[in-house]
Amino acid sequence: MRATTETYNNVHSILTAPDVVDRLERERSNPLFGFIDQYLAGCEHVNYHYEGDVWVHTKLVITNILKGEHDYLDVAAALLHDIGKKDALAKNSGKNMAGHEFIGRPLAEEVLNKFDFSQNEKDVVLWMVENHTKANGLPKAKMKFACWTFVSHPLFYRAVRLAVADSNGTIGADGKPVMDYMAAIEANKIVNLCMHNPMPGHLVTWNDMIAYPGVAEITDANKKFELYELCHKIQINGGGNKKDSILRAALRCMKDKGSI
């Protein structure tokens, strides 16, 4: 078990405080929280966020996180989830903030290192930062394999907490949240299927694949594993139930993109 430090204890006390938003406002002059003014405050949205800049949005997300079941890691993720928007906006020539979740991950890691978070704590928060847009987009999910893979992740429940708070903290022109996240999830048949049922296993087994004509010529073990996973993806997304058809489609797909 890690030994806590004065820095960690101070940060933890802030993130677990009932008035955490007020505490964060008071800490903005603290170098530990300098990222607020550097990356969040004054960074204006270029889409449907009518609530204000990224910092105003972030405070609303934190406020909404506090309304449900949560812990300090959920609060930390809410605080840092949009830290990459400013740099993404610059990278995209001011047109949009696409990719901010990936740009934000290393920035969030720098902050968490200063907070003296353990590796396990960082892993949780950084996964949420990097995957929060995937969670936000789940109501529009169309591909079963990607959806099933995501909802099967052990941190998925945290992603939903953040997505609900993020949705409630994104205000439209009418002054109301842009979406009722849970209602949108319930309305998506694919998401419901994936959330309430286990993903079917591989119809094409490893032995089936190895014995299939042409596979023996693939000498790269990583390519064989890629082919194996692609068979599963084609099975799930396409609803295929014939091994030969799935294998032929997977081989053709990898050849078409030059993987083999």
**pLDDT, tens digit, for every residue of 164-217?**
999 999 999 999 999 999 999 999 999 999 999 999 999 999 999 999 998 988
d(CA 245, CA 231): 10
One domain for residues 140 and 210: no
One domain for residues 176 and 222: no
Opening angle at CA 257, ends 252 and 259, nearest 5: 85
**Rg of the chain over all Cα atoms, to the nearest angstrom:** 22
Q: Which of 95, 159, 165 is nearest to 132 (CA)?
A: 159
Instruction: State which residues form the domain around 224.
Output: 206-256
One domain for residues 216 and 178: no
Q: Is residue 185 part of a domain?
A: yes
Q: Is residue 217 part of a domain?
A: yes
Above pLDDT 70, what percent of the chain? 99
One domain for residues 238 and 188: no
One domain for residues 125 and 247: no
How many separate domains does the chain show?
2
The pTM for the full model equals: 0.92
Q: Which of 220, 146, 135, 244 is nearest to 179 (CA)?
A: 135
* pLDDT of 4 over the 90 cut: no
CA atoms within 13 A on the CB side of 6: 0
Q: Is residue 52 part of a domain?
A: yes
Q: Which residue has the tokens 């696409």?
A: 98
For residue 24, CA distances in Å to 126, 132, 204, 216 come to 20, 22, 53, 59
Q: pLDDT tens, 203-246?
A: 999 999 999 998 988 999 999 999 999 999 999 999 889 999 99
One domain for residues 223 and 186: no
The beta strands (E) that lie in the chain are given as: none
One domain for residues 217 and 145: no
Q: pLDDT tens, 62-73?
A: 999 999 999 999
Indicate the average pLDDT of the chain: 96
Q: What CATH number is associated with residue 41?
A: 1.10.3210
Q: Which residue has the tokens 């002059």?
A: 29
* pLDDT of 1 over the 60 cut: no
Q: Is residue 201 part of a domain?
A: no
One domain for residues 134 and 250: no
One domain for residues 66 and 192: yes
SS3 state of residue 177: strand
Q: Which of 65, 62, 73, 66 is nearest to 25 (CA)?
A: 62
